[in-house]
A = this chain, B = another copy of it.
Amino acid sequence: MSQKVRIALDSMGGDHGPAIVVAGADLALTRHPECEFVFFGDKTQVAPFVAERPALKAASRLVHTDIAVRMEDKPSQALRYGRWKSSMWLAIDAVKKKQADVAVSAGNTGALMAMSKFELKTLPGIERPAIAALWPTLRGESIVLDVGASIGADAEHLVDLAVMGAATARILFGVVRPTVGLLNIGVEEAKGLEQVREAGRILREAQSPDLDYTGFVEGDDIGKGKVDVVVTEGFAGNIALKTAEGTARQIAEYLRTAMGRSLRARIGYLLARPALAQLRERMDPRRANGGVFLGLNGIVIKSHGGTDAEGFAAAIELGYGVVHENLLAKITAALGRQHNEPRQALGGAAS
């Protein structure tokens, strides 16, 4: 990895396309001048936004394509018309060809995952990649994975998620041995899915130096920040993530209604506004914008489709951070340790 962090951007992704992608890159550049960008997209749409920003123009180049993946298409459709030539594909391809260290897209999640898997392939021993989300908690942030890359997981896949999530937490949160919990419905050992119990047994017996497995956690433990890494299969993980987002919006709506209802409440609101702004900031989904695709031979970051420039910058900076700390090498090493050592030891003890 060079001193520079080279970031490939799908300029056509997301609800707002190049306007947000270019503005977000500009913001990220002011905070991390060692970023270099390659914009993939329609040059007639992208170039004008870049031209307005001389510093960004100097730190970037633009690769033209007129194929953009649509937000509403199925992964299979997107692969059909977008392979080899869409802005999304080309951004991922740049990572594969070592022309970029990370790809960032606000586009169609399913298509981005399908193309990433197709082009980058999974790491040795990993069958299915995962999406890791940064989840704001009362203690800071946690990583929750998988939030929707695949449905269902056997015990070994859950263990791999734990290892990959912990490697990511180590980098993002700066903790040596992140705490890891398995999402379940009830904290007693006997409850929950067989594969979750089995994964718990493997993690507990492995006593890995890379992670501190603390047992089962329930849905309401995520927001408490009970553990650094919450591990679950993608169906339940996606439902948890979306439900939390929905609940936050619901309460924000209640708050807005409550504060507008009487003159007294409105005056109170004006006085409390700075405090409420702080609250809004803590609830701001842009702060934690960006899912990390894990388990691939390369790093891909998914930004929310509806985000603004600040949110897209956060996704870029997330990518910058994990590349800067060499996440991929650390995940590969940790998976190697997990796949060779503890399971061998376990096999020896069990058989």
Contacts and interface: CB of A to CB of B under 8 A. Distances in A.
Contacts of A332: none
Contacts of A283: 251, 254
A80 interface: no
A138 B250 contact: yes
A279 B267 contact: no
Q: How large is the interface on A (under 10, 10 to 19, 20 to 34, 35 or more residues)?
A: 35 or more
Contacts of A273: 268
A152 B196 CA distance: 13
- Count copies of this chain in the complex: 2
B235 A223 contact: no
Given A151-B193, A271-B265, A239 B183 contact: yes
A245 B274 contact: no
Interface in A167-190: 183, 185-186, 188, 190
Contact of A259 (B151, B191, B218, B272): B272
A49 interface: no
Contact of A274 (B186, B244, B249, B265): B265
Given A188-B74, A254-B279, A269-B268, A274 B246 contact: no
Q: Dominant SS at the A interface?
A: helix
Given A110-B186, A239-B185, A250-B224, A261 B244 contact: no
Given A261-B278, A275-B262, A192 B151 contact: yes
Nearest to A251: B251
A15 to B, nearest CB: 16
A243 B111 CA distance: 28
A319 interface: no
Interface of A: 74, 110, 137-138, 148, 151-152, 183, 185-186, 188, 190-193, 218-224, 232, 234-236, 238-251, 253-255, 258-259, 261-262, 264-265, 267-276, 278-279, 282-283
Given A138-B254, A262-B275, A268-B269, 11 more contacts: A152-B193, A193-B235, A219-B238, A219-B242, A220-B246, A220-B249, A223-B246, A247-B247, A262-B274, A268-B268, A268-B272
